[in-house]
Amino acid sequence: MRRIFDYLPHPEQQIVVGGRVRVPFGRRMMIGIVVGESDHSEWPVEQLKAIDEVFDQTPIWPPSLLDLFKWAGRYYQHPIGEVLSHALPKKLRLGEQPNSADIEVWQLTEAGAAQDSQSTKRAPKQWQLLELLKAGAQERATLSAQGVTGATIQAVAKKGWIEPAPLSALNESACCQPTQPPATTEQSIAITALCSRLQGFSVSLLEGITGSGKTRVYLDVMAQVIAKGKQVLVLVPEIGLTPQTLSRFRNHLGVRIGLVHSGLNDSERLAAWQAARTGELPVLLGTRSAIFTPMANLGLIVVDEEHDGSYKQQDGFRYQARDLAVMRARNEQVPLLLGSATPSFESLANVEAGRYQHLTLTERAAGGQLPQIAAIDMRQQVMSGPLSAPIINAMEQHLQDNNQVLVFLNRRGFSPVLLCHECGWFAECQRCNRPFTWHKGFRRLVCHHCQVERPVPHQCDSCGSTQLVPVGQGTEQLEEALQAQFPQYPVVRIDRDSTRRKDAFENLVADVQRGHYRILVGTQMLAKGHDFADVTLVIIADVDGALFSSDFRAGERMCQLLTQVSGRAGRAGQQAQVLLQTHYPDHPWVQQLQTEGYQQVAQALLAERKQAQLPPYAAIAIIRAEANDETKVAEFLASAESVLSEAARGVNDKGGVIVMAPGPCAMVRKAGRYRWQLALLAPQKSAIQQLLNQTLGEIEGSKLAQVVRWHVDVDPHDT
Ligand code: ADP
Ligand code: ZN
Ligand code: ZN
């Protein structure tokens, strides 16, 4: 519910704002969080219910963080109760005390240290564990993040090779910081600039090309913050929290690193949360939701790959963790460091407006050049498969030179459509009215919109013909075609399907890095974080999709993705090449990407946004609604529109809010429900916020609001 409730404390109860209490709610008892105190209530005092039990003597969050959550609730138009419950580890939501968690720490015994890979020859997992612990004691949670299972720990402990260790062991990293190469000149300049601003609030954008050594800059700045006894919060994209990242941080800093990620169990999550909150944990490394973790002694926030879409939560409480990081840094008066090779347009606009400090790294730290990008005109090319002849020729050359080739296609499965050659019928998801994707390997048809699956039909549903043919291509087909084209070179596919098992992604990446494969086919999983040193040729199989998208952010996203994928190549110093396969080689940003690079394309696209009055030069919020009955959705949004338009007349002084007419979403039907949306547009975020604050109560109170499913998305990623 979009409101808070009043209760009456007993004079003897010590109530703290930001603490948990048990209160009667309807016929139940529930745990609540005290968000404020007051000396009066809208309700007569005799109607107020009493607080049953007080859980906390000290607030769960410091006032600055509680203020951030309240702000977030207002800004994202989300009920404060849900915001707070989102921010609270599950065990605390259930009323447990934050100190109840034990942290399990393991270290090598002397016998364990004496083992070599021979003694664990038949148990590579055990050897992996011993190797990990050679660098010093580690928490169980950290080990599990690196793919070590409980069974492995038990087995190795039984052999007497590892033993439980005290918490203090975590700060004595045994690996004694392998000597670092000196920072490059550009890195030093950035480090000095950042270290001169460690007091108070500031935001810096570190824009460094892929391979320029941004992480090294973070680490050097972090080391200075930690040396002053302060804590650092580091956010990474979902796919960026890898064992490599972790060991790199640990080896460089030599301190305990706490982790927050989706693989933790409730106790592990609470343990990391509590250690961060008390200030004993020097570094907390986590994905999106880590932004809610209290830190007693925060000295710096780092957001790596700040443009990454995974910082935006796409359901429930739809916050953007990078934007919350800006507010949090301001509230807690600490510096914020944003890093990316392809900064978001929001951050670039903030640089342009003088709000963010801009630091750049333009050269690769370990040497080597950025790859050259060239478009390959597909028009009128004879296609013997998914790739055109010039591309096949280029691949052949690079493979003959003993290099690896990466082929990028952002579409999983064998083909996005399976249709009848006789009559044109195609297999379609009844719930979404979209074609099923054929997954040949799984022998299934899968709807990529609602995930529903069904067996592959042998016959056409309509005419009974058995002539069913795939149309269009996904990674599975590309893999098959390339293996047939280049039988002498091993091909590997890396996408969500080929990496379903735990650790599969890590293992495949390791195999690629060891050179087991020569041709890599994959989706955007390949775009992030991992270096493939021997890749000298990157093929982008399909650029054209993004040119047709109705989403105004499609160009920005595609340029980011292309730049990131390209950045995987040529890390070992050879000159690498990127080939874009397109029917539109003259398209402006396809051109610009070849000749000038991301920064210039971004500037051009930003100018267009400014002209069109679109974000980041304007604010957007969307109300989306869905229901089985399309007329109900249309009616609900029509009535919302009239409420909003009426109220919008009142906020005209702020530059006004444009209330767009409701209409069907780009994908009007999904999982059986019809989806419509209504967009609000304004030059100022505050105008939209004001309008929504004024009207949501009324919109929510309407009868149809109970019938359709609806939500508000402020600063939506998809429009
Ligand atoms: P980015 O995050 O900017 O893509 P990384 O921080 O991953 O770049 O660094 C890219 C590579 O360059 C890594 O292999 C890293 O070890 C190496 N590197 C970073 N800084 C230096 C340096 N000062 N001297 C030599 N190599 C470096
Ligand atoms: Zn047919
Ligand atoms: Zn579907």
In percent, the amount of the chain with pLDDT more than 90 equals 67
Question: Is-contact 408 526, C-beta < 8 A?
Answer: yes
How far is the centre of ligand 3, averaged over its atoms, from the C-alpha of 547 (Å)? 25
Sheet of 404-408, strand order:
372-377, 577-582, 535-540, 404-408, 519-522, 491-494
Which pLDDT score is estimated for 462?
94
- The protein residue with its alpha carbon nearest to ligand 1, atom 20, reads 213
Average pLDDT, the chain: 90
Residue 524 and residue 166: Cα distance in Å, rounded? 41
Q: Ligand 1, closest atom to CA 210?
A: 4
Q: Are 405 and 520 within 8 A, CB to CB?
A: yes
447 is in an annotated binding site: yes
Q: In testing the pocket of ligand 1, which one of 215, 308, 370, 598 has its CB within 8 Å of the most ligand atoms?
A: 215
From the CA of 144, how far away is ligand 1's center (Å)? 26
Q: Would you say residue 62 has pLDDT above 60?
A: yes
Two tokens, residue 514: 């060891």
Q: Which atom of ligand 1 is nearest to the CA of 215?
A: 6
Residues in the chain: 719
- Number of neighbouring beta carbons within 10 Å of residue 599: 17
Would you say 636 and 702 are in contact if contact means Cβ atoms under 8 Å apart? yes
Q: Which amino acid, residue 704? A: L
Contact 637, 679 (CB under 8 A): no
Residues 6+ apart with CB under 8 A from 537: 394, 395, 398, 403, 405, 406, 569, 576, 577, 578, 579
pTM: 0.91
Taking the C-alpha atoms of residue 141 and residue 106, their distance in angstroms, rounded to an integer, is: 11
Q: Is 420 annotated as a binding residue?
A: yes
- Closest residue by Cα to atom 6, ligand 1, is 213
C-beta atoms surrounding 266 within 10 Å: 15
Gyration radius from the chain CA atoms: 28
Atom 14 in ligand 1: which residue has the minimum CA distance? 366
Which residues are 494's β-sheet partners?
Answer: 522
Question: From ligand 1's centre to the CA of 365, what distance in Å?
Answer: 5
Share of the chain above pLDDT 70, in %: 97
CB count in 10 Å sphere of residue 620: 20
Whose C-alpha lies nearest to ligand 1, atom 11? Answer: 211
Cβ within 8 Å of residue 666, ≥6 positions away: 550, 551
Q: How confident is the model at residue 173 (pLDDT cuts 50, 70, 90)?
A: low
When mean pLDDT is compared across 202-211, 499-508, 517-526, 650-659, the lowest value belongs to: 650-659
- pLDDT tens string 439-482: 999 999 999 999 999 999 999 999 999 999 999 999 999 999 99
pLDDT over 70 at 651, yes or no: no
Q: Is the pLDDT of residue 147 over 80?
A: no
Output phi, psi for 680, to 5 deg: -115, 135
The pLDDT, as a whole number, for residue 178 is 60
| Contact assessment for residue 285 and residue 300, using Cβ atoms and an 8 Å cutoff | no
Distance 216 CA to ligand 1 centre (A): 6
| C-alpha 452 to ligand 3 mean position (Å) | 6
> By mean pLDDT, which of 84-88, 467-471, 655-659 is the weakest?
655-659
How far apart, in whole angstroms, are the C-alpha atoms of residue 222 and residue 336?
11
Q: Which residues pair with 201 in a beta bridge?
A: none
d(Cα 525, Cα 410) in Å, to the nearest integer?
A: 9
- Write out the E strands in 3-108: 7-8, 20-25, 28-33, 49-50, 53-54, 105-108
Q: What is the pLDDT of residue 271?
A: 87
Select the highest-mean-pLDDT range: 551-560, 563-572, 606-615. 606-615
Strands 417-420 and 468-471: antiparallel
Between the CA of 397 and the centroid of ligand 1 the distance, in Å, is: 28
What tokens appear for 47 in the block? 């109607």
Q: How far apart are CA 475 and CA 583, in angstroms?
A: 20
Helix (H) or strand (E) holding 540: strand 535-540
Q: How confident is the model at residue 654 (pLDDT cuts 50, 70, 90)?
A: low
Tens digits of residue pLDDT in 257-294 = 998 887 788 888 888 899 999 999 999 999 999 999 99
Q: Given ligand 1 and candidates 188, 216, 306, which is best to mutate, with the most ligand atoms within 8 Å of its CB?
A: 216
Q: Give the confidence band of 571 by pLDDT, cuts at 50, 70, 90.
A: low
Closest CA to 587 of 641, 548, 531: 548
From CA 608, how far away is CA 601, in angstroms rounded?
Answer: 11
Average pLDDT estimate for 693-701? 93
Three-class secondary structure assignment of 377-420: ECCCCCECCCCEHHHHHHHHHHHHCCCEEEEECCCCCCECEEEE
User: What is the 3-class SS of 208-274, one letter each residue?
Assistant: ECCCCCHHHHHHHHHHHHHHCCCEEEEECCHHHCCHHHHHHHHHHHCCCEEEECCCCCHHHHHHHHH
Q: Point out the least confidently predicted range of 150-159, 167-176, 335-344, 514-523.
A: 167-176
Closest ligand to residue 215's CA: 1
Condensed to tens digits (0 to 9), the pLDDT of residues 119-130 reads: 777 788 888 888
> Would the annotation count 429 as a binding residue?
yes
**Residue 559 annotated as lining a ligand binding site:** no
Ligand with smallest separation from the Cα of 244: 1
Provide the pLDDT for residue 588.
84
Report the 10 Å Cβ neighbour count for 467.
Answer: 12
Binned at pLDDT 50, 70 and 90, residue 529 comes out as low
- The residue whose CA is least distant from atom 26 of ligand 1 is 366
Is 175 marked as a binding-site residue? Answer: no
Give the pLDDT score at 417. 95
pLDDT tens, residue by residue, 586-631: 988 888 888 888 999 999 999 999 999 999 999 999 999 999 999 9
Within 8 A by CB and 6+ apart from 280, the residues are: none
Task: Please state, as a whole number, how many other Cβ atoms lie within 10 Å of the Cβ of residue 255.
Answer: 18
As separate numbers, helices (DSSP H) first and strands (DSSP E) second, the chain gives 23, 33
Q: List Cβ neighbours of 451 (8 Å cut-off, separation of 6 or more).
A: none
For 670-683, write each residue's pLDDT tens digit: 999 999 999 999 99
HSE-CB for 711 with a 13 A CA cutoff: 13
In angstroms, the CA 457 to CA 53 distance is 60
Cβ–Cβ < 8 Å for 29, 52? yes
Neighbours of 396 (CB within 10 A): 14
Give the mean pLDDT of 200-210.
96
300-323 average pLDDT score: 96
Q: Give nearest CA residue, ligand 1 atom 10.
A: 211
Which listed ligand is nearest to 671 at the C-alpha? 3
CA of 435 to the centre of ligand 3 (A): 8
Any binding-site annotation on 423?
Answer: yes
CA dist 108 and 134 (Å) reads: 7
CB 22 within 8 A of CB 29: yes
Q: Which of 398, 410, 411, 412 is nearest to 519 (CA)?
A: 398
Ligand 1 pocket, Cβ-based, cut-off 6 angstroms: 181, 183-184, 187, 208, 210-216, 365-366
Section 339-352 average pLDDT: 96
User: Relative to the CA of 361, which ligand 1 atom is closest?
Assistant: 3
Beta strand 404-408 with 519-522: parallel, antiparallel or unpaired? parallel
Residue 367 corresponds to which tokens in the numbers above? 């040497």
Phi-psi sector, 84: left (phi>0), alpha (psi -120 to 50), beta = alpha
With bands split at pLDDT 50, 70 and 90, how would you rate the model's confidence at 102? low
Distance of CA 455 from the midpoint of ligand 3 (Å): 14
**What would the two tokens of residue 51 be?**
């607080």
Q: Where are the beta strands (DSSP E) in 253-395?
A: 257-260, 283-286, 298-303, 335-340, 357-361, 372-377
Q: Which two tokens stand for residue 182?
A: 């000196």
Annotated ligand binding at 432? The verdict is: yes
Q: Which ligand is nearest to the CA of 461?
A: 2
Ligand 1 atom at shortest distance from the alpha carbon of 187: 23
Alpha helix segments (H runs only) across 522-660: 544-547, 554-566, 588-595, 598-612, 630-648
Q: Which two tokens stand for residue 480?
A: 């098959």
The residues, any chain, with a CB within 8 Å of residue 68's CB and separated by 6 or more, are 324, 327, 328, 331
Q: Which residue has the tokens 């507010």?
A: 327
Closest CA to 660 of 624, 628, 705: 624
Structure tokens at 305: 């790959």
d(CA 575, CA 368): 7
Please state the atom number of ligand 1 nearest to the C-alpha of residue 208: 3
| 414 alpha carbon – ligand 2 mean position (Å) | 20
The rounded Å distance from CA 673 to ligand 2 centre is 27
